[in-house]
Amino acid sequence: KKLQKNLNFELEAAGYTSENYQIRVFEKPQIQDMNITLDYPVYIGAQTERLSNSGNLIVPEGTKTSWLINSKASDRIAFQTQSDSIEFEKTEDNTFNLTKAIRESSPYTLNLFNREANYHQKIYYSIEVIKDKYPEITLNPSNDSTYFSHVAIAGEISDDYGFSQLELVYSKVQNGIEL
């Protein structure tokens, strides 16, 4: 029989009745609601995003990620990757919070613990990080063939998140002396 609530009972045999016994039923820890806030790095130019009840993430490198979990029958929750384990902060009776900057792709688990039932539940998710690439600059100088006094520079610049400004800083050197 699958018990859903506490059960009081006694045993009877050969005219003898035992004392009262009780089987106590404890709830298994579970997530009732999970909200994740993704605060992207400023240079991306993206607005903060909020996800509900989804733990698998694809985020740009450096995204500040905040989990807010409402749970049932959980004493504590731990965020665990292959390299570390971090406890969530318990902010209210059944509410837990964790904020972490995400820099590496990794599977992760949320471990929900209930000390009364000596039980914990693992829920598996993954984080995929989109690495920020370095800007690429290609320059092609072209000398003035008539007077040799001018240099034209053509080129291309690219970056995975765009760029807002390019500065050319130069100095003129003659006979080893900067002019």
The full 3-state SS of 131-147, as one line of letters, equals: CCCCCEEEEEEEECCCC
pLDDT surpasses 70 at 174: yes
pLDDT band at 1 (very low <50, low <70, confident <90, very high): low
Q: What is the dihedral of CA 47, 131, 160, 53, to 10 degrees?
A: -30
pLDDT for position 162: 81
Between the ranges 4-8, 103-107, 111-115, where is the mean pLDDT highest? 103-107
Is residue 77 very low, low, confident or very high in pLDDT (cuts 50, 70, 90)?
very high
pLDDT over 90 (residue 156): no
Does 150 score more than 80 pLDDT?
A: no
User: Pairing state of beta strands 57-60 and 119-130?
Assistant: parallel
Predicted confidence at residue 114, as pLDDT, reads: 87
Predicted TM-score (pTM) of this structure: 0.75
Ramachandran quadrant class, 119 (left: phi over 0; alpha: psi -120 to 50; beta: rest): beta
Average of per-residue pLDDT across 60-86: 94
Return the pLDDT at 141. Answer: 81
**pLDDT over 70, % of the chain:** 96
